[in-house]
Amino acid sequence: MVVPFRGAPAGLEALRAGLARLRTRPGDSVLVVDNTPGRTRLDTAADGPVSVVHEAAVPAPAYARNRGAERGSAEWLVFIDADVIPPEDLIEAYFDPPPRTGTGLMAGGVEDEPVYADGPAVARYAYLRRFMSQEDTFRFGDWGYPKTANAACRRAAFEAVGGFRDDIRAGEDADLTFRLRSAGWAVERRERASVVHRNRQTARAFAAQKLCHGAGAAWLDREYPGAFPPRGRPGLVWWGIRHAATGLTAAARARDRDWALWALFEPLEHLAHEFGRSLPNERPLTARSAIRHLLSLREPPGVVRMRDAGPPRAGEAAPERRP
């Protein structure tokens, strides 16, 4: 198992303690790749059940995953993010039953951390929206892919296609999936091998995440034409205003906080994602590279116009998920 990490030493130790609960089989290993720039190198390869190595030449989760993969020899590589909570039997659940011979990638389940009705607004919306569910990206059909917040890749397949692209900011999980499929490998769903994901807690962090995802979607659409086409921005802005206004009005009448959160954050999600497409996806992102990228943009072909009603229609009740 490979887990990229970036953050404070206290967070690193908490992560190690949580991962130490995992049940492993003979030949399994659990490796945290500390990708925090500027940190003193403190590798702990032989210190407890969870090893830590420092690899921060490129501050990117994909780079950390690639460096971690190089250090092992197991047949399968299980990748999870540092902001998920894995159950003790995660590894066992991935391989019961054994994957098919032609499977190169397995998508584990991802559940959003439950947030009570009076909890932080952004985290509550993400929970209602099932933001990190694997279904959120598999819904793209032929362009569907698993999120590497929880996924497993056959080592032979991973090495054959060259691992993750570590020179991009977002979209490396989709890119890896597309290259594996092109090479003839299949993707399996393993929902029973499920983790719980801790979502962003502030609107600023949520919007920044969606901007980055938008940059990744635009890059993927350039690399794989037709994968993630852009939407018409004027129509999207108009839909967002109408959706927020009618949704907030209905929420106030019904005194429904969840409805109000949906009315506010769904437009923010779509708009940040779409306008994020104007940002470069290459690393590192600097003010100069962003300006250069914006100046080079032209009206993209195949713009998808968003219907007035939007999904879901303003006026529909938010999903009932009240822990």
Question: Concatenated DSSP letters for 99-149?
Answer: PPTTEEEEEEEEEEPP--TTS-HHHHHHHHHTTT-THHHHTTGGG----TT
Give the separation between CA 148 and CA 80, rounded to whole angstroms: 6
Q: Is the CB of residue 124 less than 8 Å from the CB of residue 117?
A: yes
What is the model's pTM? 0.85
2-200: CATH, from 3.40.50.150, 3.40.50.720, 3.90.550.10, 3.40.50.300: 3.90.550.10
At residue 75, does pLDDT exceed 80?
Answer: yes
Q: Residue 185: its pLDDT value, please?
A: 98
Residue 41: per-residue pLDDT? 63
Q: Are 161 and 183 in contact (CB under 8 A)?
A: yes
User: Residue 309 gets which letter from DSSP?
Assistant: S
Higher pLDDT, 234 or 90: 90
If you average pLDDT over residues 86-105, what whole number do you get?
97
Q: What tens digit of pLDDT does each residue of 259-276 get?
A: 999 999 999 999 999 999
Q: Is residue 298 scored above 70 in pLDDT? A: no
User: What is residue 126's predicted lDDT score, i.e. its pLDDT?
Assistant: 93
Beta bridge partners of 2: 31, 79
* The predicted structure's pLDDT at residue 308: 34
| Tokens of residue 132, six digits | 């990190």
What pLDDT score does 45 carry?
54
pLDDT of residue 29: 94
154-173 tens-digit pLDDT: 999 999 999 999 999 999 99
Is it the case that residue 288 has pLDDT exceeding 90? no
Tell me what pLDDT residue 42 has. Answer: 61
Q: Closest Cα to residue 196, out of 89, 92, 110, 135?
A: 110
- What average pLDDT is seen over the chain? 87
Q: State how far the alpha carbon of 16 is from the alpha carbons of 11, 13, 82, 239, 305, in Å.
A: 9, 5, 10, 45, 46
Domain-by-domain residue ranges, the chain? 2-200, 209-296
Confidence (pLDDT) at 95 = 96
Per-residue pLDDT averaged across 52-63, rounded? 93
